[in-house]
Amino acid sequence: MTTISAPHTTALTTELRYLALGDSYTIGEAVDEAGRWPMQLARLLRQEGVLLGDPRIIATTGWTTDELDAAITAAEPLGQHDFVSLLIGVNNQYRGREVEEYRTQFAALLWRAIGFAGNRPDRVLVLSIPDWGVTPFGANSGRDAAQIARELDAYNLAAREACTQRGVAFVDITPVSRARGAEPAMVADDGLHPSAAMYTEWARLAFPVAHRLLA
């Protein structure tokens, strides 16, 4: 499912425009709309006085980097936004794609994200890819959890390096996904995707960084 929503407005001011780009983790597969991490992040920021509207989300379960790129092109013109988040890559790893391909395609997506933020790298936030290997689905998948972890570490290193080169904030949510990803309360009913409670943990980690970027 792809969700596109417009920013909210008030009688006195227009809220900051937020564009969230990604895959199932951004669309919040198997959780309610309010439980998605970008929605939770926007609420946390509003509670602290940052007038960030609910995100316009371009994300679909199963998307890889090239599929997200094609979807962004199809959705153009997207216009300018005050804040852009990006989380993508798990499906590249799941399909066995090479990390160098991911590095190139992620870098291109990051440039697009910066462009949507008015060419301001300091208004872009990237989240790392969580480790699905620790989930019940991962445990029963027949795949080597250690190998999944190694491959995701390589993907996340590539994303972090691209962010560092471009001055983009990178939030590492992978450790909490590994520490708590097997807990029943932290996994959605499908046994794979995060629950709203896990997304709360991600939003808490992203909040201080996003607040610094937007305050």
In a domain, 8, yes or no: no
φ and ψ at 84, to 5 degrees? -135, 135
In a domain, 161, yes or no: yes
Alpha carbon distance 168, 177 (integer Å): 22
In this predicted model, what pLDDT tens digit does every residue of 36-63 receive, in sequence order? 999 999 999 999 999 999 999 999 999 9
Domain that includes residue 110, residue range? 18-214
pLDDT above 60 for 6: no
DSSP letters spanning 159-188: HHHHHHHHT-EEE--HHHHHHHTTSGGGB-
In a domain, 6, yes or no: no
In a domain, 51, yes or no: yes
pLDDT above 70 for 16: yes
Question: SS3 for 51?
Answer: coil
In a domain, 13, yes or no: no
pLDDT above 50 for 1: no
Q: Which two tokens stand for residue 95?
A: 């399909």
Handedness of CA 31, 33, 34, 40 (dihedral sign): positive
Number of domains the chain contains: 1
In a domain, 72, yes or no: yes
Give the CATH number of the domain where residue 36 resides: 3.40.50.1110
In this predicted model, what pLDDT tens digit does every residue of 77-95 receive, in sequence order? 999 999 999 999 999 999 9
